[in-house]
Each structure stands twice: as structure tokens, then as C-alpha cells.
Structure 1
Amino acid sequence: MITIKHAAMLSGVALSALSLPAMAQTAAPQAADAPSPNEIVVTAQRRAESVTKVPISITVADGAQLERQQVNTINDLNRIAPSLEIQAAPGQNTGGGGAIRGIGTQTFSAGAVASVGVVVDQVSQGNANISNLFDVARVEVLKGPQGTLFGLTTSAGVINITTNKPEFDKISGRVRTELSNAGTAGSGSGNQVVQGVINVPLASNMAVRVSAFTNLLQGPDYNTATSKYARTDTWGLRGRLRWEPTDRLSVNIAGDYSDTRVADGGNFITFVKAASGYVANLASCGVTAAEGNRNFCTTNHYVDHQYTGGGSLQLDYQADPFTVTSVTSYRKSLESGEGAAHDVFRIDPLSLHVINQGVHRPLNLFTQELRVANSGSHLIDYTAGLFYSSQVQSRDSEALTVNAEVAPNFYFPVVNSGTGAFHVSDTSMALFAQTTIHAAEKLRLIAGGRYTWDGLKLDTFAGPITGTANSHAGLDVNNFSWKLGGQYDLARKTMVYATVARGFKGGQITTPVAASPYVVQPEIPTSYELGLKSTILGGWVLDADLFYEKIKNFQAQSCITVNSAISCTTSNINGVKSRGAEIDLYGKVTKNLSLNTGFIWAKATYPKGYIGTDGVNIGDTQLAYAPEYKFTLSGEYTHRLTDSVNGFFAADTVWKSRVRYEANAISDSTFRPHWTVGGRVGVRTANDRLTAAIFVRNLFNVHEPVLMQSGYPDSGSANVGALYGPQSFRTVGLSLDGKF
């Protein structure tokens, strides 16, 4: 709880931070270079700056790149940055499940927070983040701990998303589609994406922008019992009101909502390797366990619903010499229905059936941020503020039953287990400040800190979440994270920097099946980074760096099969490291050629002597879900065909080294080094009003899994399951785009 001591500390630091404006003004101001129209502008330090001036390793993708690579969901973002991986399995509770430089959080524990935070228009999404992307101006992938300015769910980095703002001067609109059909032109799944946006000025200083989308996915999973593809249907909308009542005050009000319906488990785990005892059962309904198998067979029909939405109010007031910003947000998500893993194996003839009963999982998140920042043109540039968040999640009792066939078509429950009802609350208060001191004409020094109080509490209930709790567990943490560094201009368009940062990610209270909850301690990374940034070829940005990170109490999840049910536990691991080098190049090379490419070597390893889930020492080997090497390339070349029509060709590719999906030495739950290639070819009018193109994703049909699980349903490495998504199979389709 917050004590008088806590309040006094926060008040004292707040007064010190808010005194920065006066201190900064007493020094002689120094002119700052304003970004030129051709420069890439980011908000990685909570103010608009040229990306080449920011001492953080950043990969930037603008709206045009996102669209040519068909980045329609959060899960698609791993194609834009070599350092970013996203494995969002059904039931995860970490706001996207991303990892940067091999460091991330994969967990099914309620109340757990992410290592990679998702921020949309300055609003932290917590565990209720948006899933679909449209009408986005820019995505910034910020690498390494970003807790000083972005908070406690950013110990590995931030995905900073900026949507297009309403425009005062014109009515405009757009409709965009991507259409593919399972089985047509070699497509392994079907996907119909329709997106629309309209911008309407309400006054000379007020405008509203509304966007809506529907994303209908069929497959790639296929039910041989019904001859139907698994379906995932999502629709949603977002609205944003911008009002500038005076030349000093800006008001932004935003809201979003999405609804996802998943039938029969959607894309869930399928058999890719089976012991001899299961082969006949699988074959009897047309399923063959092999790489790329996406078939299942069940007549058991069930539906899961997921709802996510929220609203925010941002006020910016220019109170010279600084700007005061207030961001208030509320977000809510709810999963309700049978759950994604209701019928885990989805094979009717199987002698074992694992059934999870229905779920009801509401989550509420409230955040409030208040900060001050100067214009970035003084001897001391600063950002300082206060942050408060409250995330509350509840779950009704969730039963699990393992049924074994003891006679033909007669099943007997051999296991009755599950979790009781519980209520998790995570409350955080923080005070932060970061300064950049212009020590000399070309030298700048960086110092920042964040004091955080984080209170985590779990109550369990024997029945419904009412009345007196059965048991309690809690964690009360005070933490000071910090950042120090410097940057030096080697030339007008070339800068080097060096930073060291201590991050923080809050603890967890894990709720394992058929066991008592227990506390997992906070994760504390310390990161060192040496980088170089430069603008070359007139507008192409070079971003290169070396990094080393060591993590105290890394929060790792391990899953094993117990009585044919997958049991996952989370624990702390001391001594996890990530070190390596990366290079990114992005922007326009010429007027007609846009090219974005990058490469990373990230040696992210378990500590020496670490024993995996199979009892084998896997110390000093690569972390699960973390390719050691990754290369990305995306580009588009435009050529004039006539005075009114341009032709274009776009291509993108990703190469990854071998990926392991479990914390063990089982080779069958890894995936080999591979290329994934896509592209599109089409025409657009010279004024960009109309565009038509044919596209292909995963041209060579490489079956990269989202996750893999050995012992599925039992017998260790003899049986292996894999979860495939639409990116795991070839897709061919047509895209149309119209603007007015």
C-alpha cells in the first residue's frame, strides 16, 4: 500500500522535477536543428525529433511500408524489424507477447505484464492492447529498457504506434481491401480485410477522424470432420477528435473497440509428430502428423469471444517555456465463451480428450500521466512527470477434465482439476525525469531516472468472486530505474552515442493448475549500448549498434505435459544475457525507391548450468523463441508508365536462424533456418487516388510455427504439436485501394 513515506518521497521528487523548467531557462539557450521535411520524425523521447538525433536504437516503419508489407495486425510487426519477434499464442496475457533482442515474456499467468510494451498515441495498452492496425502514421520499435520515459512494462523495449491525426483543412476518405480465398491460386488460407477511414473538419480548429475494419480469416487450420476451415472473424473501429481551441491548448479524444469471434479453437495446436500408438487414430479421420499439418477432426462445435476497447483524453498546453501534457485513459478487455483451448487435441477418435470448461476473463486498465517538457532548444532539455496505473483482472473458476477411452466410445474422467476463481490487481505509481545537457556544441550528456512503487495482489475464491476471499498473495515493490549516457556529433548528419540503463518489470503471481499461487519476483535488466546514426544517400537512415544486457530474475515460462494436460509454470532465472550487434537502414534511397533492411546477431542465452524441462543442461544455449540471427528486407520501386499511371513492384523477405520453442534440448520442437518471401506488383494513378495490385505472402510455403510443444499429448519427444498461423502458409490475393 502507499504509505506517508511513499507519498513524501513522490512529492519531493515531483517538486524537484517540476523545478527543472526554471533551472533550464537560466542557462543560455542553444539553437536546435528543426527536422527538415525529408527527415524521419519520431516520438521516442516523448517529443517530436529527427530519428538521427535520438540516442536509442530504433527501427521505424511508416504507413506506406506497413501497407506494402501487409502489416494488418500486431502479430505481423515481426516482419518490419530484425530485433522484434512476436509469438502471440491463444490465452497469453502479456499484451502481445513480443520479444526484442531475444528478451520477452511468454506466459499464461493472469496479471503478468509484458517485457515489450505496446503504446498507441501515447497510451500504454497494458494487457488490453489493440490487435489490428490501420490508418497508422508510424510504428517505432525502441530497443532495450525504456522504463525511464515509458514505464514498467517496457524492460525489453517499446512498440510505439502513432495513428494519423485528424486534419482541419479537408474532407477525405479511403477504402482499402486485401482479398484472398483458401485454395485459390495456391493460398493455404483465406483472408478478407476491408478497411475504411473518413476525416471530417467540424470547424477551422476541430476535426474528427473515424476508421473501421473487418478482418475475416479462414484457416489455415482445417477440420476434416466438417470439411470447413477454422474461422476467426474480427471487426472494429477507432475514432479520434482533435480540437485546438487556442494557439496554446490542444485536445485529443480517442476511442476504439474490437470484437473477435473464434470458432472451434481457430488456429490452435495440431499434431506434427505422433508415436505409433496415435498414428491410426489420426489417420482414421484424415490427419497425418507431419511438418505443416494443419488438419484436425472434431464435431465438437464451440465459440470464443474476445472484446477489447477503450478511450483516452490528451491535453497539451504550451506554458512557455514548457509544455504540460496530461494523458488519461481507460481500457477494457473480456474473453468469454468456451475458450480457445476448450477441446485441446480436437481429434475425436483419440483415446484421450482434454476438455477445458468455459472462461470469463474481464480486465480493466486505468492510466493517468502528467508530464512537462521543454521545446528541446535549450541548454538543458528535459521531460519530467508522474504516472499512475491500475490494472485489474478477474477469472471465474476454470475446470479441466482428462477423459480416457476405457471401452469403444465410452470415456472415463481420469483427471478433474483446474483453477479456482481469482481476482488480480496491479497498481503502480511512478515519478520520472530525463534530461539532456548540451555540454558543448557537439556533445550532449543524458541522465534520467524513474522511481516506481508497484503493488500486486491476488485473491482466490472457492466459488464466484464475491464475499470473503479464500486466500491472499501479494507483492509490494519500490524500485529506482535509471539511464545515463552521452552523444557526440561526428558530422552534421552523423552521431554516435553510448548509454547504460537499468530497467524494471513488475513481478507476477502465478496461478498454476491444481496448485497454490506463488510469487515471481520483478525482472531487473541492465543494458549497455553503443550506437551510430547517420543520414546517407540524401535520406536513407543508418542505425547501427552494439549491445550487452544482463537480467536479474528473468521471468521464464516452462510448459510440460502432465496427465496429457499441458502444465505451464513461471519462475525467475538469474543470469540470462543478450549481447550482439544490429544494423538497420530505412527510408528513401531515391525518389522512386524506398528500401528498408536490417540484420541482427543477438546471442540471448540461459545461464551456465541451467537445466531444461527434459532434465538436460541447456546452459549457455539460445533462449526459446529467440533466433540468434535475423535479416529483413522490404522495398518498393515505382516506375512511370503513362502521364497518369505508375507501375510498382514491391518485395519483402525475412531470414531467421534456427528457432527453439521450448526450454529443453528436444530438436523436434525447433524449426530450421529459413527464408520467408513475399511481394506485390500493381499500378496506381499518378495522384495516388487508386491502386490495384496482386500480392503473395510466404511465396515458397515455408511452414514456420507460432509455437511448438513436445509431449503432445504425452511421451516427451515422441509426440509434438505445433500452432500455425496464416503467415505459416502461402497466401495469394488481390488488393484494392481508393482515396478521395
Structure 2
Amino acid sequence: MPISITVADAAQLERQQVRTVEDLARIAPSLEMTAAAGQGTGGGGEIRGIGTQTFAQGAVASVGIVVDQVSQGNANISNLFDIARVEVLKGPQGTLFGLTTSAGVINITTNKPDMTKFSARLHADLSNAGTAGSGFGNQVIQGVVNLPLAANAALRVSGSTNLRQGPNQNTIDGKYIQNNSYSGRAHLLWEPTSKLTANFIADYTYFTQTNEGDFFTLISTDASTAAALASCGVVAAEGNQKFCMKQGLYAKNNNFGASAQFDLDAGPFTLTSISAYRGTRHSDTGQNIVRADPTALTILDLPGHNRLDLVSQELRIASPGNAFIDYTAGLFASHQRGIVDPTGQNITLFGFIPIANSIGSRNRTTDDSMAIYGQGTVHVASSLRLIAGGRYTAERLALDGYDFDNRVAINKQLNTSIVSWKFGGQYDLSRKTMIYATASRGYKSGQIGIPAYPLTPYIVRPEIPTSYEVGLKSTLFGGWVADLSLFSETIKDFQLQQCAATSTGALSCTAVNADGVKSRGAEINLFGKITHDLSVSTGFIYAKATYPNGYTSSTSTGVFALGGTQLPFSPRYKFTFSGDYSHPINDALSGFISLDAVWKSRVAYQSTTLLTDTYKPHWTVGGRLGLKTADDRYSLSVFARNLFNVPEPVLLYTDFPTAGTVGAMYAPNSTRQVGLSLDAKF
């Protein structure tokens, strides 16, 4: 395939304990995932430094997530379980997929039902806060049952319970925050005839959270704030995950979806229909931004509710392959609607002196998209293939709302139609080595921003990337696969977000366009078996993803000239490694050891040049050591994640919530975890 792609199979996902979407950043050097609360729309991914980080309602992601051929939109799954394969496709996509993206696609495939036999599996990862140096407790229990129903039908039911205590801890009562999620999936495979295959899939996740979960903590303060924090047992320092708040807050989220896919073998081609629905429902009792009762300033978001619904339909025709011309073509339509109820905010001094109060606004965003797409490969010769593809997209984005504070309606609409394309070629240097070159243009829809009254809503223009890539793929040493690529991408109207603290301490974020953002560099991936017992997957990327020349940003901390500097959330260098070695101990048992490591260069988090808005170059290392039976049915291991307790944040803000302070968000991956893994197959 003439595309740069990183693949992780079930074995690699298992040994690296990839349990959430955020964990996927450890499998590919080109991929970053942002777990900051409310910030990462549609999954929050960056590929080769390009991604969308925004609080804006209705914004779509630069990196699309597809599960079992269904685009997740902004109603994306969070927990990963019973996964067969993950592919990270880099660069603009849209001529082969139902969705179009500007940076790439994370393509997730779950395990299919097996019509030939009954099977079951139970897996657990167990850790406890404070035990063996673990910074938080986490109990992940996953189960799978495969049931043959007939010679032509089978049902696979899988589930996951993920209970987490910490890492954030409330010093008022000594309790860790609780993040609990319960997920299930049912997949029915039916082949009513030898020509027709039907797949019906439904999934559901229920998530609860206390005291705002992985939210802001203070890691640097002025002297008076430091003294106030010390009075309740909090020390503001790098890696601090403690807060002190008497107010008990609670949030819950429901995420669900269903799809029906039909594949018909119609002779010289295959017809596919995919109908899908996804939805989310969220409610909370409010948010305390500072979470520090003794400090002078209190910023309290009042209870909030929002919901999102996405309906999509795709029709596709594909050739059988190995013909003079291979092709895929399709029609895609989607309707996404998001509703956010009014979420007021109260800002006070010392808990009773009002500074600012608001009721908020009720906003409804609708996004209707229709597209026709296709891509063909012409086999010019046995070793030479030429590729051409195109896509026409028509989209309507609309915002309707009401500002209750100023008693004014909010209305704005954006209509877009655009053609994106891809051209390229690939040539076989030998039976095991192929080179390729491609040029492509992608598309990511615009946004509608909502500034403070009395300004009217404004348009953030669509993102148009143009990408060029050359690469080499080769099979080495009897089984190793090497994937080398050089890439250059320029983005017209790249969508950025600039945030700053207001005079009252609230956070104000504005979405803007930056014309001429560039990402260029090189990536290499190697994976395969070195010996029968040793498997390795490793990769390295150099991605220079920079602001355009002359670009400046203005925040509460100053005006910054950013032209030529690295984009936020984008390490310029990144290295990943995953390896697993097993060896028989006797006829009944084998021992195994696995290691995974990630190294990143310095990462920025805001549109500034402040060192306090960045995190230093660092390693994150983990692994497993255990025993398994010779038939691979049972295993027991000790594991460690982030063994050296490196506090890499997911978000940093300087001078927020007040001047002289630095606020940070830390995810579980920012803290050491040590525990036991158990696995049983039946």
C-alpha cells in the first residue's frame, strides 16, 4: 500500500497494555493523544504534529477515529478491549474512507465472531494506590464470550470494567478521585448466503467521575498562594496531583452506538452498505477550576448538560483486486447534532465576594456532510502501479443558540464544497522491497466561534492540507518489516486555539486560522520477529511542525512571535520501542519479559514561548515479567507503567488561574503504576 502506516496487532496491544484511546500514543512515533478534559475533540490526536485541540463546540478532529469501518465523529469511544488490530494511517485521508481528515486516521478493528467454536477469555490488570510504589489504583477486568449460533452465524459479547482511584487526591478527606467506567459490545456475524455477509455491532459505555477526575492542580504559585495551599496540605510543585476542596462534585457520561454492515459479493465487484449511529450524554454537578478552598479566588462552573448524536450512511463498491484496474468508490452522508445547555459561572473572592456571574447560553450545532469519493490503482506493469483518487465534499455547519446573560440570539452558518485528491505511484524494486511517492490534498471542516458579547459569532475557515510523501517498504532478515518515509505538508488555514486568563481569573479561548503551517520530516518503523521467541516493534520520527513565518499570538502573559517555532502538543523528535521475549522453562511453563519505552523531545502546550508552558525531554518506560502455560491458555505477570514516575502533563497554563501561578492537568499515564496481570482462555 503506497501510504505510511503503523500497525499494532493484538499481541502488541496486549503486551503494552493499551486499554484506552490515550494509550495508543505508545504504539506509533508519529501519534500523540491528548487526554486533557474537554480539550481533545474527536479523540484529541495529532499525527506528525498536526491535530485539533479546542474547547469549541462543533469542531471536528484533524485525526479521525474509525472503529469497524464506522467514523466516530465527536462521539468517540474511550475504552479499548477485544481489539484485533490498530492502524495509524498518516497524512490526509478521504479517497478510501467515508470521512475526510487533514492529518490521518486511527483505524481500529475489533475481533470478529468465530462460527466454528465456542471460546471465552477473562483478563485482569490489578493495582492499588501505594502498593509496590504504584501512584494510583486501577482494576481493569475484561471478558469475552464467543458463541456459534449456527453453521452460518455467531455472536461475540465482550465487556470491560475499568475502576480507577487517583492519581488526583483530595487532602481534605485523603480520598482519591474515582473514575469508573463500564463498557460492553455485542457483535453478531451472519452469512445468510454464500454471497452475503452481515455484521451487526452495538456498544455502550457508562462513565462516572468524582471531584472532576484528572483536572487542574497547581504546580507553581506566588508566595501567598503557596502559603494558602500549605494550610491544607498541598505543595505546588512539578507532578503535584493533590488538591483541597470540600465541595463534592460528580459527573457521568453515556457513550453508545450501533452499526449494520452488509457486504454483497456481486461477481466482478463487492457492494458494501454501512449504517451507523453514535451518541453521548453528559451531565455534571459543576466544576471548581482551582480546587483549592483556602485560596482567595474561587472559579465555579455551575451544573452542565450536553448531548451529541451522529448518524451516518456509507455505500461502497470495490473491485476484487488483482485486475488491471483496482478501484474503490463510495457515497457518504452524515448528520451530527450537538446541544449544550446553559452552563453558568460564578467567580468570587474568599467564597462570598462576587466578582463575576453568568448564566451562559444554550447552543445547538448541526453538521451535515455529503461526499462522493473514489480511488483506483492501474497496474501498468508487474512492478509498477499508478494511483489516482478524488473526493467531492459538501457540508453545512450551523449554530443556533441563545445568550441568557445578554438576552440575544446566536446564529451563524457555514456552507462549504470542496474537491480533495490523491495521486501517486509505487514501484517494486524486488520481491521484498517497494518504493512509492504520493501527492494529496485533504480537508477538515470549519468551526463557528462564539466570542464574548457584543461580538457576533465568527467563522473559523476550513483546514486545507497539501501533502507530499516518498517512502520505502521492505521485508528484511526473513521477517522484519521496514517502513521509511519522508514527508512535507503545508496547511492552508490551520485551526489553532489561543487561551488566556481574563482579569477575573476565567479562561478565555479563541479559535483562529493560521495560514501556512508546515509539517515536514522523516519517520522509520521496524517490526517483526528477530527470533522465534523475540518480537520487536520500534520507530523514530523527526517532525518539524511549525507556525508560519510572522505569526504572533497575544495572551494574558504577553505577545509572542511564534514564526518557525514548534506547534503545541508536538514533540519534534519521538522514539518508541516495544519488545517481548519468551522462553520455555519446562514442558508446562514458559517465562516471558516485555519492555516498552517512549522518548520525546521538549513539548509545548500553549501558543507562547514561555519555558513554563513546556515540558522537558524525557523517557517513559514500562514492562512486564511473568509466566504462562505452554498452551498459552493461562498467564500471570507483574507489570509497571511509567516505571520512573515521570510527571509528563497533558496540559499546562502559565498565569492561570491567577498571575504567578502555573496550572497543570495530569493523566494516569503521568504517574507510576505497578500491579498484577492475569489472563485465562477457555
TM-score, length-scaled by structure 2: 0.98
Take 2:131 and 2:40, find their aligned partners in 1: how far apart are those partners?
Answer: 35
Count of aligned pairs between the two proteins:
676
Is 1:485 aligned with 2:424? yes
1:529-575 CA distance string (max 9 Å, x none): 00000111222211110000000000001111012111111111001
Q: Which residue of 1 aligns with 2:581?
A: 637
2:226 aligned with 1:284: no
After superposition, give the CA deviation of every residue in 1:318-342 in whole Å (9 maximum; x if it has no partner). 0010000000000000111225xx1
Is residue 2:417 matched to residue 1:473?
no
Q: What residue number does 1:251 align with?
A: 198
Q: Report what 2:306 is aligned to.
A: 361
Residue pair 1:110, 1:511 contacting (<8 A) in 2 also: no
Q: Deviations over 1:125-169 (max 9, x none)?
A: 001111000110000000000122225452100000000000000
Q: Which amino acid aligns with 2:321?
A: G
Partner AA of 1:667 in structure 2: L
Please, which moves more after superposition, 260-269 or 533-542?
A: 533-542
Q: Where do residues 151-162 of structure 1 align in structure 2 (5 Å cutoff)?
A: 151-162=98-109
Q: Deviations over 1:609-638 (max 9, x none)?
A: 111333021210000100000000001001
Q: 1:347 and 2:292 equivalent?
A: yes
> Which residue matches 2:49?
102
Alignment of 1:503 onto 2:447:
no
Give the counterpart of 1:297 among 233, 244, 248.
Answer: 244
Letter of the structure 2 residue corresponding to residue 413 of structure 1: P
Establish whether residue 401 from structure 1 lines up as the match of residue 341 from structure 2: no
What residue number does 2:458 align with? 518
Q: 1:660 aligns with which of 604, 611, 633?
A: 604
Q: Structure 1: any 5+ residue segments left out of the alignment?
A: 1-53
Of the three residues 261, 265, 268, the one matched with 2:208 is 261
Note if contact 1:418-1:513 (Cα within 8 Å) is conserved in structure 2: no
Please give the alpha-carbon distance, in whole angstroms, between the structure 2 residues aligned to 1:317 and 1:151.
Answer: 18
Residue 100 of structure 2 contacts residue 442 of structure 2 at CA under 8 Å; is this kept in 1?
A: no
Matched, 1:701 2:648: no
Distance change >3 Å, CA 378–CA 337, structure 1 → 2: same
Task: Map residues 608-619 of structure 1 onto 2, 5 A cutoff.
Answer: 608-612=549-553, 613=555, 614-619=558-563
Does 2:569 align with 1:625? Answer: yes
How many angstroms apart in 2 are the aligned matches of 1:299 and 1:153?
Answer: 46
| Higher normalized strand content (fraction of residues) | 2
The yes-or-no answer on 1:448 pairing with 2:385 is: no
What is the CA-CA distance between 1:398 and the residue it aligns to? 1.1
Q: Residues 97 and 104 of structure 1 are in contact (CA less than 8 Å); yes or no, is this contact kept in structure 2?
A: yes
Between the aligned partners of 1:630 and 1:686, the Cα distance in structure 2 is 36
Identity among equivalent pairs (%): 56
Give the equivalent residue in structure 2 for 1:425: 366
Query: For the residues of structure 2 that align with 1:313 and 1:143, how far apart are their CA atoms?
Result: 27
Cα deviation, residue 423, structure 1: 0.6
Within-5 A mapping of 1:131-280: 131-280=78-227
Deviation at 1:725, TM superposition (A): 1.1
SS of match in other structure, 2:561? coil
Aligned residues of 1:57 and 1:543 also touching (Cα < 8 A): yes
1:677-733 CA distance string (max 9 Å, x none) = 100000111111001000001111111001111112122xx2111111111111110
Say if 1:114 and 1:153, in contact at 8 Å, map to a contact too. no
Counterpart secondary structure, 2:612: helix
1:649 aligns to 2:596 (yes or no): no
Q: Distance in 2 between matches of 1:513 and 1:651?
A: 50
Match of 1:372 among 303, 317, 340: 317
Distance in 1, matches of 2:605 and 2:332, equals 36
Is residue 2:483 matched to residue 1:538? no
**1:258-310 deviation per Cα after TM superposition (whole angstroms, max 9, x unaligned):** 01101011011111110123111111111111101111000100101111001
- Could you tell me how far apart the structure 2 residues matched to 1:513 and 1:226 are? 38
Q: Secondary structure at the match of 2:471?
A: strand
User: Equivalents in 1 of 2:655, 2:100: separation in Å?
Assistant: 32
Is the 8 Å Cα contact of residues 455 and 474 (structure 1) preserved in structure 2?
yes
Aligned to 2:16: 69
CA distance in 1, matches of 2:69, 2:30: 22
Cα deviations across residues 399-456 of structure 1 (Å, max 9, x unaligned)? 1111112xxxx52121123631011000000000100000111100000000000100
In 2, the alpha carbon distance for the partners of 1:554 and 1:419 equals: 29
CA distance in 1, matches of 2:570, 2:67: 25
Query: How do residues 103-122 of structure 1 correspond to structure 2 at under 5 angstroms?
Result: 103-122=50-69
User: Hey, what does 1:42 align to over in structure 2?
Assistant: none
**Alignment partner of 1:722 is 2:660:** no
In the TM superposition, what are the counterparts of 1:300-339 in structure 2 within 5 Å? 300-339=247-286
Is contact 2:183–2:203 with CA below 8 Å preserved after alignment?
A: yes
| Aligned-partner residue type, residue 362 of structure 1 | R
Distance 1:282 1:82 in 2: 38
What are structure 2's unaligned runs of at least 5 residues? none
* Equivalent residues of 2:449, 2:458 under 8 A apart: yes
Residue identity in the other structure for 2:648: E
**Cα 1:373–1:676, aligned 2, differ >3 Å: closer, same or farther?**
same
Q: Equivalent residue of 2:566, what SS?
A: coil
Distance 1:391 1:104 in 2: 20
CA distance in 1, matches of 2:452, 2:125: 41
449-458 or 272-281, which deviates more: 272-281
SS at match of 1:149: coil
Paired amino acid for 1:411:
F
Residue 462 of structure 1: how far off its partner (Å): 4.5
When the two chains are superposed, the root-mean-square deviation of aligned CA atoms in Å is 1.3
Taking the aligned partners of 1:471 and 1:564, their CA distance within structure 2 comes to 25
For residue 79 of structure 1, what is the aligned residue in structure 2?
26
8 Å contact kept, 2:562–2:608: yes
CA distance in 1 between counterparts of 2:381 and 2:268 reads 22
CA distance in 2, matches of 1:149, 1:389: 16
Question: 2: CA distance between counterparts of 1:148 and 1:719?
Answer: 47
SS at match of 2:160: strand
User: For the residues of structure 2 that align with 1:312 and 1:600, how far apart are their CA atoms?
Assistant: 36
| 1:384 equivalenced with 2:324 (yes/no) | no
Asked if 1 retains the 8 angstrom alpha-carbon contact of 2:499 and 2:508, the reply is yes
CA contact 1:126–1:153 (8 Å) conserved in 2:
no
For 1:482, give the aligned amino acid.
W
Distance (Å, rounded) in 2 between the aligned partners of 1:312 and 1:567: 38
State the distance in 2 between where 1:725 and 1:331 align.
26
Q: Which AA in structure 2 matches 1:539? A: G
Contact 2:94 2:373 in 1 (8 A): no
Give the CA deviation at 1:360.
Answer: 0.9
User: Could you tell me whether the CA contact under 8 Å between 1:272 and 1:292 is conserved in 2?
Assistant: yes
| Matching residue within 572, 576, 584 for 2:513 | 572
**Preserved CA contact (<8 Å) 1:702 1:728:** yes
2:35 maps to 1:88 = yes
**Equivalent position amino acid for 2:341 in 1:** D
CA–CA separation in structure 2 for the residues paired with 1:634 and 1:387: 37
Question: Letter of the aligned partner of 2:681 in structure 1?
Answer: K
